[in-house]
Amino acid sequence: MNPLVNPDGPLLGVNIDHVATLRNARGGSFPDPVQLAHEAVQGGADIVTFHLREDRRHIHDADVDRLKQSIGVPLNFESAVTDEMLEIIERVRPEMVCLVPERRQEITTEGGLDVAGQAERVADACSRLARAGCRVSLFIEPGARQIEASARTGAPCVELHTGAWANAVDRGDTVRADMEGVRLREALALAHRLGLQTNAGHGLGLGSTGPVAAMGGVLELHIGHAIVGHALSVGMTQAVRDFKACIRRAIASSSGRPA
């Protein structure tokens, strides 16, 4: 079996950042992102994802320590490429790290990491984190320049930014969605030729998750805002189950197997 292809479809990483955003809006400890991470695992989350930002706008350092101590599935630590964050990761030693761009003024992470423009710095970070026992992925735009640069850094994985695809689907812009779908498929094919595990995420909802899962070659989907938003209606455990079911249906439909 090709290790870069999972016939059962991608694993689901649930990003809990926006639980912390809601908590921080009022201060205190409720809702607790660690408790909601446990509920996500109960619903079938394969990975728990979080982004410790330099400004600590949602996840806090104490949250990271509690997640490490209590969550039984792999943790995916999203991080800017800074000495402060690399030192924290070396202490925490999460199973996975995703290096992302970060700007103070942005609402959420916008655009991919410019690996090609800072190749030496990213390669040094990848080497440093590999020595800490972390599997590193790079959050990038689905284009040849960034994929090829990522392969040269020594990172074993990339995570393709799906925001443009998801926005087009949400708007009902079928022309743009088709264009972005082609771009994602071409990026997946190139990444696989270069030996990179390929994950995907950003902006995905119930309407856009299935088609990405069915593209083939996506090993992990990392989804946060849409799952947390859906959880406001149905609870976190059921929200994760709904997204997992969406992935299963897409894989079954693409393979001709029963869901």
Q: How far apart are CA 44 and CA 10, in angstroms?
A: 13
Q: Which residue has the tokens 């989804």?
A: 223
Contact 236, 36 (CB under 8 A): yes
What are the beta bridge partners of residue 193? Answer: none
Contact 211, 166 (CB under 8 A): no
Q: How far apart are CA 30 and CA 247, in angstroms?
A: 30
For residue 109, how far is the Cα from the chain centroid? 11
Helix, strand, or coil (residue 31): coil
- For the question of residue 51 being annotated catalytic, the response is yes
- For the question of residue 222 being annotated catalytic, the response is no
Backbone angles phi, psi at 162, to 5 degrees: -100, 15
Tell me the pairing of strands 96-99 and 220-223. unpaired
Instruction: Give the amino acid at 60.
Output: H
Q: How far apart are CA 258 and CA 166, in angstroms?
A: 26
Contact 13, 220 (CB under 8 A): yes
Buried/exposed 145-176: b ≥16 CB within 10 Å, e otherwise: ebbebbbebebbbbbbbbbbbbbbbeeeeeee
Helix, strand, or coil (residue 76): strand
Query: Which one from 51, 58, 222, 230 is the annotated catalytic residue?
Result: 51
Q: How far apart are CA 96 and CA 137, in angstroms?
A: 8
DSSP state of 134: P
Q: 33-42 vs 225-234: helix axis angle to the nearest 10?
A: 80
pLDDT at 2: 46
- For the question of residue 102 being annotated catalytic, the response is no
Each residue's pLDDT expressed in tens, for the chain with a length of 259 residues: 345 556 678 999 999 999 999 999 999 999 999 999 999 999 999 999 999 999 999 999 999 999 999 999 999 999 999 999 999 999 999 999 999 997 655 455 567 899 999 999 999 999 999 999 999 999 999 999 999 999 999 999 999 999 999 999 999 999 999 999 999 999 999 999 999 999 999 999 999 999 999 998 999 999 999 999 999 999 999 999 999 999 999 999 876 555 5
pTM of the predicted model as reported, rounded to 2 decimal places: 0.93
Report the Cα–Cα distance between both ends of the chain, in Å, rounded. Answer: 22
H/E stretch holding 119: helix 119-131
pLDDT at 1: 38
Query: Which one from 38, 39, 58, 78 is the annotated catalytic residue?
Result: 78
11-251 is a CATH 3.20.20.70 domain: yes
pLDDT at 4: 57
Q: Which of 245, 236, 164, 230 is nearest to 201 (CA)?
A: 164
Query: Which one from 202, 220, 222, 230 is the annotated catalytic residue?
Result: 202
pLDDT at 216: 83
- What CA–CA distances, in Å, run from 221 to 125, 147, 154, 244? 23, 18, 22, 10
